[in-house]
Amino acid sequence: MLVDTIGDVVITNDGVTILKEMDIEHPAAKMMVEVAKTQDDEVGDGTTTAVVVAGELLKRAEDLLEQDVHPPTVIAHGYRLAADKAQELIKDIAIEVKADDVEMLGKIADTAMTGKGAEAAKEKLCDLVVRSVTMVADEDNTVDTDFIKIEKKVGGTIDDSEIIEGVVIDKERVHPPGMPKLVENAKILLLNAPVEYKKTEVDAEISITSPDQLQMFLDEEEKMIKAIVEKIIASGANVLVCQKGIDDIAQHYLAKAGILAIRRVKKSDMTKLSRATGASVVSSIDAIEESELGASGRVEEKKVSGEEMIFVTECINPKAVTLIVRGGTEHVVDELDRALEDALRVVSVAVEDKKFVAGGGAPEVEMSLRLREYAATVGGRAQLAIEAFAAALEIIPRTLAENAGLDPPIDMLVELRSEHEAGRKTAGLDVFDAKPTDMLVAGVIEPMRVKTQAIASAAEAAVMILRIDDVIASSGAGAGPSPEEMAAMGGMGGMGGMGGMPPGMM
């Protein structure tokens, strides 16, 4: 639970969210946050893995420095060799998955959501994730997760979450009594201009000396608004989605014309609607033309959890889906949203790359073993660094063992190593059984890219930090590091704590 200065609370088990929300001063720790963010941007999952491995690499580097393996650049070089080798090794052990293998994709979604507060309805959520990704995937298997909109709605239970083919917008009609609730064969106008009387830019005072003049003035205003609405009607639109405001008088005329209108719609929703319906976003009243309109089979206002939402369905472009995520409280819904984001991303990555690896620490144990063999062939001081890298990767199975309640976790590690020595490359730790298990059989699998990216960014960050000789306070960057922080950075003395940093791994 993260609580900020004004008492706002975030409850999460998501590595990147924890780091983003944490108040971090230390410059090296800030780099760790960057590692997590890069991981999140690139693959959407494996953030804790990346950070924990980076921390462990630094801790092992510190040990080496204490054992007089100098200078740090030798270690950096060894780490780089190891990271490159590790990439090869992962590609070697990766397994093919077909882009339409929904069972495997479901397992990948399941692994990403384990431990993320989505447990209660995981089967259902995995199904939603896999269905939405396969719906928006192109023929060439590229997936743009921007097409998948997550609409959070507090109320109901996780089980009430659903997938809608189309775009759902959290708005209601501007004029419920007069406007249709349902429009079939919708002609949709997306307008990024106010349907209001234009206020003058300059401060002008108009003195009115008689009631007639006032009436004239008001009539004039109404005439202008009416002209705007007429322009909309003339275009043939029967649905108006406005990014700006819609005036009362305009609402009245729109309703009279049988047009369903919503206002103050978010820009991101406008973009999604534009893609889904083929409409362009028109940004001036004069530019309203029939050719700019989009189309969908059905636009309807429906109640979700007691609140009205607009459902734009049967769109021209079927590659637009909305997941309506439901849950008892805001915190539940927020955490579900994060879990779903992770799952959507990993499933998309798997569909794109068609490669996956076992989870539960299996690839880390395997890589560790192979890297030790490789280290021996390199020799010299680099060998020590590569061995340290190999040992650092074992932080993943070790942390999983710890989280599974195994004490001491080292026994499990020894068991896992011997499994791998015997050639069982997918042996990992099933946290629910707390024993070495073939992770493929247990269905704990992850896209290959989660691992390649995690290792690349962890190694990069560690190498970068290792190459720092000195930290110098610079101007303009706010307060800069404190003297203690500088001391910590310079001597790597502060780094020791970082290895013990694993947040909510799993």
Ligand X SMILES: Nc1ncnc2c1ncn2[C@@H]1O[C@H](COP(=O)(O)OP(=O)(O)O)[C@@H](O)[C@H]1O
Active site residues: 14, 47-48, 342
Look at residue 502 and give the partner it binds from Mg ion, ligand X, none, a contact being a CB closer than 5 to 8 Å depending on partner kind.
none
- Closest-CB residue for Mg ion? 45
Q: Which of Mg ion, ligand X, none does 47 bind, CB closer than 5 to 8 A by kind?
A: ligand X
Query: Count of residues binding Mg ion (CB under 5 A)?
Result: 1
Nearest to 116 by CA among 4, 3, 9, 16: 16
Q: Which is nearer to Mg ion, 195 or 395 (CB)?
A: 395
Of all residues in the shown chain, the one whose CB is closest to ligand X is 359
C-alpha distances out from residue 307 to 36, 120, 302, 304, Å: 36, 25, 8, 5
The conformation of residue 384, written as its DSSP 8-state character, comes to: H
3-state DSSP of 434-485: CEEEEHHHHCCEEEHHHHHHHHHHHHHHHHHHHCCCCCCCCCCCCCCCCHHH
429 binds, among ligand X, Mg ion, none (CB under 5 to 8 A by kind): ligand X
CB of 436 to ligand X, least distance (A): 11
Q: Which is nearer to ligand X, 301 or 335 (CB)?
A: 335
- In the list ligand X, Mg ion, none, the entry touching 505 (Cβ below 5 to 8 angstroms by class) is ligand X
Least distance in Å: CB of 396 to ligand X?
6
Out of 45, 56, 301, 352, the residue judged to bind Mg ion by CB under 5 A: 45
Picked from Mg ion, ligand X, none, the partner binding residue 396 (CB below 5 to 8 A depending on kind) is ligand X
How far is CA 399 from each of CA 297, 316, 381, 483, rounded to the nearest angstrom? 52, 48, 28, 33
Closest approach, Cβ 8 to Mg ion, in A, equals: 24
Nearer to ligand X, 263 or 449 (CB): 449
Query: In a 3-state reduction of DSSP, which class is residue 427?
Result: strand
Q: Give 19 or 259: the residue with its C-beta nearer to ligand X.
A: 19
Least distance (Å) from ligand X to the CB of residue 148? 19
Nearer to ligand X, 116 or 175 (CB): 116
Query: In degrees, to the nearest 5, what angle opens at C-alpha 483 toward C-alphas 481 and 488?
Result: 85
CB of 45 to ligand X, least distance (A): 5
Single-letter code of the amino acid located at 324: I
Question: Which of 487, 484, 427, 464 lies closest to 38, judged by CA?
Answer: 464
Binding-site ranges for ligand X (CB under 6 A): 13-15, 45-49, 111, 114, 359-360, 396, 400, 429-432, 444, 446, 504-506
By CB under 5 A, is residue 40 in contact with Mg ion? no
HSE (CB half, 13 Å, CA atoms) of 3? 2
Sequence-separated (6 or more) residues with CB below 8 Å from residue 132: 148, 163, 321, 323, 344
Cα separation, 136 vs 139, whole angstroms: 10
Q: Which residues bind Mg ion (CB under 5 A)?
A: 45
